[in-house]
């Protein structure tokens, strides 16, 4: 019985060894045939994931750089450079160009131009004023030319149309300004009803800019009050003369005149009781 049990145990061990050997052989065969393919697939997924993470980091870094450049730039020419460098990032390009054009119009309104360092101002000459208006109009035109009719571009386009109308008003072209306001109203439409109403109101009141300004004439001064003829007005501080003679002034008492003697008290009557 013991020998039979030993034989059965040895047989089970041999079968188990055969199974494990077959599994090892199958695994080795799989590694040799399909292992490299699956390994390449896993490596491709890992590389794709790393590339995606790297791309997201670069995109976030580029967005941060674009907004920093926009917030730290003040000169119109530099703002245009910011718009060209970051044309594909959010709305940085539109904001930079609108800020540049608005800055040029503000210089025209103030009649002064800020220096490059932003520390001093100089008077805006007639030639510089025309250059500022031409540059502002060009920038606004670039914004309107990029309009694709989508709601996302509505706000920038409406602001550009209003800017072109402001340039026309500065140049004295009232009819042209009204046309730009009408385009702004139409572009705002139902997307921006408040801006549409504002543009319509400006178009209606724009003709008032062509009217001559009438200043109020000052009221006529009141007629001077003159005394009747023959009446003389005395000067201040002078007592007017009178026809009646002035009363004589009372003379002060003389020292040599006799003074009245003091009177003695009357004697008391005998019948009166003496005071207690």
Return the CATH number at 183. 1.25.40
Confidence of residue 102 (pLDDT cuts 50, 70, 90): very high
108 part of a folded domain? yes
- Do the Cβ atoms of 179 and 161 come closer than 8 Å? no
pTM: predicted TM-score of the whole model, two decimal places:
0.62
- Residue 204 vs residue 37, higher pLDDT: 204
Range of the domain at 106: 74-208
Which of 114, 113, 134 is closest to 124 using CA atoms? 113
- Residue 97 vs residue 34, higher pLDDT: 97
190 part of a folded domain? yes
268 part of a folded domain? no
Structure tokens at 214: 């009438």
Q: Which residue has the tokens 């009204």?
A: 178
177 part of a folded domain? yes
pLDDT > 70 fraction of the chain, expressed in percent and rounded: 66
Interatomic CA distance for residues 276 and 264, integer angstroms: 23
- Residue 120 vs residue 205, higher pLDDT: 205
19 part of a folded domain? no
Averaged pLDDT for residues 85-98? 91
Q: Which residues of 91-115 are buried (b: 16+ CB within 10 A; e: fewer)?
A: ebbbbbbbbbbbbbbebbeeeebbe
pLDDT for 113: 83
Which of 183, 142, 182 is closest to 134 using CA atoms? 142
The set of long-range contacts for 134-141, using a CB threshold of 8 Å and a minimum separation of 24, is 135/76, 135/101, 135/104, 136/101, 136/102, 136/104, 136/105, 136/108, 136/163, 136/167, 137/164, 137/167, 139/76, 139/80, 139/97, 139/98, 139/100, 139/101, 139/104, 140/101, 140/164, 140/167
Averaged pLDDT for residues 238-250? 54
- Listed range (89-93, 117-121, 165-169, 256-260) with the worst mean pLDDT: 256-260
40 part of a folded domain? no
Torsion of CA 171, 173, 179, 183, to 10 degrees: 0
258 part of a folded domain? no
Confidence of residue 272 (pLDDT cuts 50, 70, 90): very low
The phi-psi region of residue 32 (left if phi > 0; otherwise alpha if psi is between -120 and 50; otherwise beta) is: alpha
pLDDT for 226: 57
Give the chain's domain count.
1
276 part of a folded domain? no
pLDDT tens for each residue of 171-215: 989 999 999 999 999 999 888 999 999 999 999 998 887 776 676
């Amino acid at each position: 019985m013991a020998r039979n049990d030993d034989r059965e145990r040895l047989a089970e061990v041999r079968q188990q060894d055969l199974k494990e050997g077959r599994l090892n052989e199958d695994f080795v065969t799989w590694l040799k045939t399909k292992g490299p393919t699956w390994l390449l697939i896993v490596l491709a997924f890992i590389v794709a994931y790393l590339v995606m993470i790297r791309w997201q980091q670069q995109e976030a870094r580029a967005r941060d750089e674009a907004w920093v450049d926009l917030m730290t730039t003040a000169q119109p020419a530099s703002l245009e450079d910011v718009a060209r460098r970051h044309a594909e990032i959010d709305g940085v390009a539109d904001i930079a160009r609108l800020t540049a054009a608005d800055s040029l119009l503000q210089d025209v309104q103030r009649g002064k131009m800020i220096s490059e360092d932003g520390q001093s101002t100089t008077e805006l000459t007639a030639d510089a004023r025309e250059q500022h208006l031409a540059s502002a109009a060009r920038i606004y035109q670039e914004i309107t030319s990029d309009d694709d009719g989508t709601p996302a571009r509505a706000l920038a386009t409406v602001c550009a149309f209003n800017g072109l109308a402001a340039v026309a008003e500065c140049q004295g072209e009232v009819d042209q300004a009204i046309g730009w306001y009408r385009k702004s109203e139409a572009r705002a439409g139902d997307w921006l009803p408040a801006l549409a109403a504002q543009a319509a109101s400006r178009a209606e009141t724009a003709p008032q800019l062509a009217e001559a300004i009438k200043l109020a004439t000052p009221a006529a001064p009141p007629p001077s009050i003159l005394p009747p003829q023959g009446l003389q007005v005395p000067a201040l501080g002078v007592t007017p003369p009178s026809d009646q003679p002035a009363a004589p002034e009372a003379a002060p008492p003389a020292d040599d005149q006799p003074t009245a003697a003091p009177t003695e008290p009357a004697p008391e009557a005998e019948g009166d009781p003496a005071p207690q």
